[in-house]
């Protein structure tokens, strides 16, 4: 049994007393334990972050950037163990785990190169002899609350910009997947981060996450997770001035028009629909296909979905992973059963796989009514809903017919149609002849409507959330 710590106020807290069991969903084995902390640990963590904040804010951005670069090297050095932990806690095939880990380390290197982005502007206004300059300043202790589906990538894309901007950060990882976040704060400690600058507090979201977010000394909360918990947090903070960034769910769609390259479209749709077994905020969850090519596309999608290989996640030949737990499997199966009741038909999958662990077959449901639950609500599992439309205008109407607005794609060889869909899409991300998932690091990422607060992660834009802008006017005449 692996024993993994939390890091609070510069101290490694080992899993004695109350613990969280970490289960590998690919084989139902409990393989690790972490401490399940309480409100006392939250107070100690916030005390330490508050004490560290002035010193870290006064550390020059280049020195903070150097810490991130050293951290990236240390994360590389522990990659073998960390990838294995990520593979097991998240139930990810090894290539998927290695890909997420590599992108997470690259996130630290990317922000290590962005110290110069903490710049300002100068104005010579209407008053002679006066010039104003703007400064991007740190805001104080911050909290990251992260989901189980990307246990490494989500903490990385919050920790790196928060620390570069001069703020301590406390990470509350999802209870199902608490190990990758600890690797990151531990590497930051090893790289020389002062006590309190980077911490993890593992434990229940309702207890630890809530107490962290509501502590009045916390300047900002970056939350990635479900829309319902995100909205509850926003409500709980509504009487405070604590900043909150919400990165929430999606009902992402790929539009496929009659003139698309159907093989290329099918490749991209399948990759984005079934990576992480569909448990990805940007997973393709709907295919909106022009009726002329409906059958031809469906045939290609089914062939590719049925070629995915579930099994031992340590094997290179495994290309498809399990769901995180039984509750998620029941949720996914419930969506499929209700879609059948709504008149849709399962073309492939639609059932649990006969393997130990929580496995559900890659599923395609056709004949989905555009007003039905499966067309509008996030499943967060390996279920692709296929909807038929008449033309590009009809496709746009269906594309925007959900409460969400995270990611979308259009497949076409017609430039006019491509830009018409991109310009009309009510989603924060649009890919033309590309997948809905897999956003590059410099690209601003975040959703509209029920998908979040439109406060971007990734890229230099991420630094805005973690800084405040001060205008300094000086008279020189």
233 or 266: whose CB is closer to ligand NAP? 233
- Report how far residue 422's alpha carbon sits from residue 374's, in angstroms, rounded to the nearest whole number: 23
210 or 388: whose CB is closer to ligand NAP? 210
Q: Which of 247, 306, 457, 461 is catalytic?
A: 247
Distance of CA 374 to the CA centre of its chain: 22
Q: Which residue is nearest to ligand NAP (CB)?
A: 205
- In whole angstroms, the minimum distance from the beta carbon of 38 to ligand NAP comes to 13
Provide CB contacts within 8 A for 204, sequence distance 6+: 36, 175
- In whole angstroms, the minimum distance from the beta carbon of 248 to ligand NAP comes to 5
Nearest to 331 by CA among 281, 287, 283, 279: 279
- Report how far residue 13's alpha carbon sits from residue 34's, in angstroms, rounded to the nearest whole number: 9
Contact residues for ligand NAP, defined by CB under 6 A? 145-150, 172, 174-175, 204-206, 209-210, 213, 224-226, 229, 232-233, 247-250, 281, 378, 380, 406, 447, 452
In this structure, is the dihedral angle defined by the CA atoms of residues 102, 104, 109 and 113, taken in order, positive or negative?
positive
Residue the block writes with tokens 């928060």: 162
209 or 349: whose CB is closer to ligand NAP? 209
Number of other residues whose CB lies within 10 A of the CB of residue 173: 32
- In whole angstroms, the minimum distance from the beta carbon of 109 to ligand NAP comes to 21
Is beta strand 252-256 parallel, antiparallel or unpaired with respect to 284-290? parallel
> Encoding tokens for residue 320?
């498809």
373 is catalytic: no
8 A C-beta contact, residue 246 and residue 453: yes
185 or 366: whose CB is closer to ligand NAP? 185
- Report how far residue 343's alpha carbon sits from residue 320's, in angstroms, rounded to the nearest whole number: 28
110 or 380: whose CB is closer to ligand NAP? 380
- In whole angstroms, the minimum distance from the beta carbon of 226 to ligand NAP comes to 3
8 A C-beta contact, residue 408 and residue 253: yes
Residue the block writes with tokens 């607005």: 405
Residues in the chain: 477
- Report how far residue 312's alpha carbon sits from residue 319's, in angstroms, rounded to the nearest whole number: 10
Separation in Å, CA 248 to CA 105, 118, 152, 454: 23, 27, 17, 10
- In whole angstroms, the minimum distance from the beta carbon of 252 to ligand NAP comes to 9
Q: What are phi and psi of 328, to 5 degrees?
A: -70, -35
Q: Which of 281, 315, 373, 457 is catalytic?
A: 281
69 or 106: whose CB is closer to ligand NAP? 106
User: Which residues on neighbouring strands pair with residue 408, listed in sequence order?
Assistant: 253, 430
**What are the strands, taking DSSP E only, across 206-311?**
220-224, 243-247, 252-256, 284-290
108 or 380: whose CB is closer to ligand NAP? 380
117 or 171: whose CB is closer to ligand NAP? 171
281 is catalytic: yes
- In whole angstroms, the minimum distance from the beta carbon of 172 to ligand NAP comes to 6
Separation in Å, CA 313 to CA 24, 104, 180, 258: 10, 20, 17, 37
- With 0-12 / 13-18 / 19 or more C-beta atoms within 10 angstroms meaning exposed / middle / buried, residue 234 is middle
- In whole angstroms, the minimum distance from the beta carbon of 53 to ligand NAP comes to 22
Is beta strand 363-366 parallel, antiparallel or unpaired with respect to 345-348? antiparallel
- In whole angstroms, the minimum distance from the beta carbon of 452 to ligand NAP comes to 6
Query: Which residues are marked as active site?
Result: 247, 281
């Amino acid at each position: 049994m692996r024993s993994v710590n939390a890091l609070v106020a510069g101290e490694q807290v080992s899993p004695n007393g109350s613990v969280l069991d970490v289960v590998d969903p690919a084989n139902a084995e409990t393989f690790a334990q972490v401490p399940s902390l309480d409100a006392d640990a939250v107070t100690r963590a916030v005390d330490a972050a508050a004490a560290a904040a002035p010193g870290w804010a006064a550390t020059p951005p280049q020195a903070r950037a150097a810490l991130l670069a050293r951290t990236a090297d240390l994360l590389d050095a522990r990659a073998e163990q960390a990838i294995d932990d990520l593979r097991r806690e998240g139930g990810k095939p090894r290539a998927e785990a290695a890909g997420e880990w590599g992108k997470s380390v690259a996130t630290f290197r990317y922000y290590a190169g962005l110290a110069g982005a903490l710049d300002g502007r100068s104005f010579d206004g209407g008053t002679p002899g006066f010039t104003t300059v703007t400064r991007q300043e740190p805001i104080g202790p911050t909290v990251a609350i992260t989901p189980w589906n990307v246990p490494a990538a989500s903490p990385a894309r919050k920790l790196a910009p928060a620390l570069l901007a001069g703020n301590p950060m406390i990470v509350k990882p999802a209870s199902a997947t608490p190990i990758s976040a600890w690797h990151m704060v531990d590497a930051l400690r090893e790289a020389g981060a002062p006590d309190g600058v980077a911490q993890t507090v593992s434990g229940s979201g309702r207890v630890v996450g809530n107490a962290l977010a509501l502590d009045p000394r916390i300047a900002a909360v970056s939350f990635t997770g479900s829309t319902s918990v995100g909205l509850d947090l926003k409500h709980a903070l509504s009487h405070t001035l604590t900043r909150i960034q919400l990165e929430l769910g999606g009902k992402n769609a790929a539009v496929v028009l009659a003139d698309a390259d159907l093989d290329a479209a099918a490749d991209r749709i399948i990759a984005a629909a079934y990576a992480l077994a569909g448990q990805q905020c940007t997973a393709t969850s709907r295919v909106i296909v022009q009726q002329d090519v409906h059958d031809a596309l469906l045939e290609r999608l089914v062939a590719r979905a049925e070629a995915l290989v579930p099994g031992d996640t340590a094997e290179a030949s495994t290309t498809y992973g399990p769901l995180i737990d039984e509750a998620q499997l029941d949720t996914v199966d419930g969506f499929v059963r209700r879609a059948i009741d709504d008149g849709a038909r399962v073309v492939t999958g639609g059932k649990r796989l006969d393997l130990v662990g929580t496995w559900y077959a890659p599923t395609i449901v056709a004949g989905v009514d555009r007003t039905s639950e499966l067309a509008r609500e996030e499943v967060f599992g390996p279920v692709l809903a296929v909807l038929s439309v008449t033309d590009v205008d009809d496709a746009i109407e269906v594309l925007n017919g959900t409460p969400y607005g995270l990611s979308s794609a259009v497949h076409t060889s017609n430039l006019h149609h491509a830009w018409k869909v991109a310009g009309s899409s009510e989603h924060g991300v649009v890919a033309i002849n590309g997948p809905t998932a897999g956003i590059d690091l410099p690209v601003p990422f975040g959703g509209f409507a029920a998908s979040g607060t439109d406060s971007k992660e990734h890229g230099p834009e991420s630094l805005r959330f973690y800084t405040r802008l001060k205008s300094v006017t000086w008279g020189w005449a």
